Structure 1
Amino acid sequence: MAVDEKKQRADLLAKALEQITKDHGKGAIMRLGDPSASMNVSGIPTGALSLDIALGIGGVPRGRITE
C-alpha cells in the first residue's frame, strides 16, 4: 500500500468521524485505544471479576448498548 493511499484513507476516515460527531454529538463514535476518547461512565458489575476488569470500568457501561 502506497504512502499516498494510506494518507487518503486516513483523511477519509477523519472526515467520516467528523461528520458522525457533527450529526450525532460527541461520544457517538470513538476510535479504539484513543486516550482522548475516555469518558467517565459508571458500570454495572457482571458478577465475574475477571470480566469486569477486562471491560475496564468495572462492569457493563450504564446507559450504553452492548453486544
Structure 2
Amino acid sequence: MIKKKMELSCHDMGMKTCNFVAKGKTKHKVEEEMIKHAAKVHPEVMEGKSDAEMKKMLHEMDKMVHAA
C-alpha cells in the first residue's frame, strides 16, 4: 500500500501572507511541523494560548490536513 503525503499550509490556517506548507506522511507529523513553524514565524498567534485553545487549534488542523 502506498501512503500519500499529507500537507497543511498557512493559507489553510488563515495566514494569507505566508506561503509555508507543512508536509508529512501522517497528520500528526504535519501538525507537528505546522506548530513548530507557527511558534518560530508567527509567535503572536501562539503566545498565551491556553490548553483549551491549543486543543481547539489542533482539532481544526486535524480537519484541514489533506493529501498532497
TM-score for both structures, normalised by structure 2: 0.30
Which structure shows the higher strand fraction? 2
Structure with the bigger RCO (C-alpha within 8 Å, sep 6+) is 2
